[in-house]
């Protein structure tokens, strides 16, 4: 009924900058922070029985900027 537990750590770092009447928000998002190679799916057939067919995506980051005026 339930699959195995999936552990993944995602984190966001942000800074709010007020310049006059404007506000700027700078963000850094990091996905899979500890770069875990968690198995997502396993093959249940024939000679490749229990061989992983997909794992968690590697660590990656996203940078974002938002301007409010």
Q: How many angstroms separate the most distant Cα atoms in the chain? A: 67
User: Is residue 42 included in any domain, yes or no?
Assistant: yes
Contact at 8 Å (CB) between 6 and 38?
yes
User: Is residue 37 included in any domain, yes or no?
Assistant: yes
User: Is residue 5 included in any domain, yes or no?
Assistant: no
User: In this predicted model, what pLDDT tens digit does every residue of 16-46 receive, in sequence order?
Assistant: 999 999 999 999 999 999 988 888 888 888 8
User: Is residue 6 included in any domain, yes or no?
Assistant: no
Q: Is the pLDDT of residue 47 over 90?
A: no
DSSP assignment letter at 21: T
Q: Which domain does 19 fall in, by range?
A: 11-68
User: Is residue 1 included in any domain, yes or no?
Assistant: no
Cα separation, 4 vs 43, whole angstroms: 15
| CB half-sphere exposure, 41, CA atoms < 13 A | 5
Average pLDDT over residues 7-11: 91
| Cα distances (Å, whole numbers) of residue 24 to 12, 61, 67 | 16, 20, 5
- pTM assigned to the model: 0.72
């Amino acid at each position: 009924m339930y699959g195995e537990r999936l552990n993944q750590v995602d984190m966001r770092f942000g800074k709010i900058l007020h310049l006059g009447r404007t506000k700027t928000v700078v963000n850094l998002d990091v996905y899979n922070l500890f770069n875990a190679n968690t198995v997502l799916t396993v093959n249940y057939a024939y000679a490749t029985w229990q061989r992983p067919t997909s794992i968690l995506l590697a660590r990656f980051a996203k940078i974002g900027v938002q301007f409010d005026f």
